[in-house]
Chains A and B, each alone.
Chain A
Amino acid sequence: MPKWFIPAAAVCFLMFMISPVLIANAPYEATMGLVQKIFYYHVPSAMTFFVAAVVCGVNSWRFLFGKNVNADRLANSAAELAVVFGAITLVTGPLWARKSWGVWWQWDVRLTSSLMMWMIFIAYLLVRKYGGPGAEKLSAGLALFGMANVPFVYVSVNYWRTIHPTTNVVPTLPVSMGLPFWFCLAAFLLLFTLLLQLRVRLERQRAAVDSLYLALED
């Protein structure tokens, strides 16, 4: 394990322990009241989901074109984390929606597109599991296409009438709300990095076992 791992894990744990305090002390939002506070976990997890997606996409590119095997391990781990953080987003979102909009689900494009992106990463994992030999390349191709879809998702938000808050909320947050938000975002991103490191390490060890098997046969 790299030296920074344990201290970082400790920091991350502390951050998540502190976050409810920060969130409770943040001011209430004008229209939505208490329920709005789920935003402090929902939006960071959505952002982490996107970060995971981009990490997966970039490393899929490096794997396909640079033939870098470690990039493939990173991509696989990032895809798994994308599914995890996407799931958190897709659960916290409806919880918030039910209370503030009155419906569990709304078929507007951003929700639909987040769901679609999430499904792309589930498809990535399915291909890796059931695609047989050579599935690493297939899933890398899928991830690239998935990443290329992200701008289309983003564009459709700005051009489509939706009851989802528009993307411009974050920069205009008042400091009292901004602090807990950025704190939670940092906590989520740190958690993502830690989990990614753990997962990639597992893949490296698997590859080492495989090469031991191969060396045994010689």
Chain B
Amino acid sequence: MIDFEELAVEDVSRHFGRRKALSKITFTARAGSILGLLGPNGAGKSTLLAILGTLLLPTSGRVRYGTHADASADLRARIGMLGHDLYLYPELTARENLAFFAALYGDADPGGAADRALARASLAERANDPVASFSRGMRQRVALERALIHGPRLLLLDEPFTGLDEASVAALLARLRDLKTQGAIVVLATHDLDVAEGLFDRAVFIRDGRMMEAVTGSEALRATYRAVMTKAK
């Protein structure tokens, strides 16, 4: 089993035909920190997350996970991703979804892992209801547990706050802070800073595929955010 303490993105670019989706993105994130990928819609955040999750290859540059640079099955076992579409099977129950992914990730006791995850998400009473019957917030909680069920080192989240009510947002923020204390690397992409202010240790601003700023510390964040989001092209 491989592990890493640092995620290093080195000069990553990605183009689709003539369209440049990402241009020379460079940053690092250490274990036990939360990094924000901020930028307007269409900036390239989802593309970057896909590259970080080994689903997409950069056309130039590379991503280094500690000392490992090649995407292998062992590396994928250390990465968890929560996409915008949640990656859950609506016809299956919450427990079945979690057990399926636990088994897929090689867990010897998928049922047990599913039960523990449901307990952490406070959804044990709804364990045997199909996910299709859940509200967005509840589905999000199950999806987050699914992304974490194999204890990944790196967690990637794409616009996780969409459609959530205040309580769910607070729960998610608390969970992310827990993960940070446990030493995970969390990379969270969003276009909405209002919700996530105060969460990030570092933030990278992306616009039109280009990295505009990298900021550490929450005070500078708000100012830079306004500047980047309203900047004329």
Residue in A133, A213, A214, A218 with the greatest tally of chain B CB atoms within 10 Å: A214
Across chains A and B, the number of contacting residue pairs, with CB separation under 8 Å, is 12
Looking at the assembled complex, report how far the CB atom of B94 sits from the nearest CB atom of chain A, in whole angstroms.
33
Contact with A along B18-35 (1 / 0, CB 8 A): 101001100000000000
Tell me the nearest residue of chain B to A133, going by C-beta. Answer: B16
A29 contacts B by Cβ under 8 Å: no
Looking at the assembled complex, report how far the CB atom of A52 sits from the nearest CB atom of chain B, in whole angstroms.
26
Is A218 a contact partner of B17 (Cβ separation < 8 A)? no
**Which A residues are in CB contact (< 8 Å) with B23?**
217-218
A108 contacts B by Cβ under 8 Å: no
Looking at the assembled complex, report how far the CB atom of A71 sits from the nearest CB atom of chain B, in whole angstroms.
17
B15 contacts A by Cβ under 8 Å: yes
For chain B, give the interface size range.
under 10
Is B20 a contact partner of A210 (Cβ separation < 8 A)? no
Is B16 a contact partner of A214 (Cβ separation < 8 A)? no
Instruction: Please report the C-alpha to C-alpha distance between residue A217 and residue B24 in the assembled complex, in whole angstroms.
Output: 12
- Near A by CB (< 8 A), chain B positions 172-221 give none
**Which A residues are in CB contact (< 8 Å) with B15?**
214
Looking at the assembled complex, report how far the CB atom of A208 sits from the nearest CB atom of chain B, in whole angstroms.
12
Is A133 a contact partner of B17 (Cβ separation < 8 A)? yes
Tell me the nearest residue of chain B to A215, going by C-beta. Answer: B20
**Which B residues are in CB contact (< 8 Å) with A218?**
23-24
**Which A residues are in CB contact (< 8 Å) with B18?**
210, 213-214
Q: Chain B residues in contact with chain A, CB under 8 A?
A: 15-18, 20, 23-24
Q: Chain A residues in contact with chain B, CB under 8 A?
A: 133, 210, 213-214, 217-218
Given contact pairs A133-B16, A214-B15, A217-B20, a sample of 9 additional A-B residue pairs in the complex whose CB atoms are under 8 Å apart: A133-B17, A210-B17, A210-B18, A213-B18, A214-B18, A214-B20, A217-B23, A218-B23, A218-B24
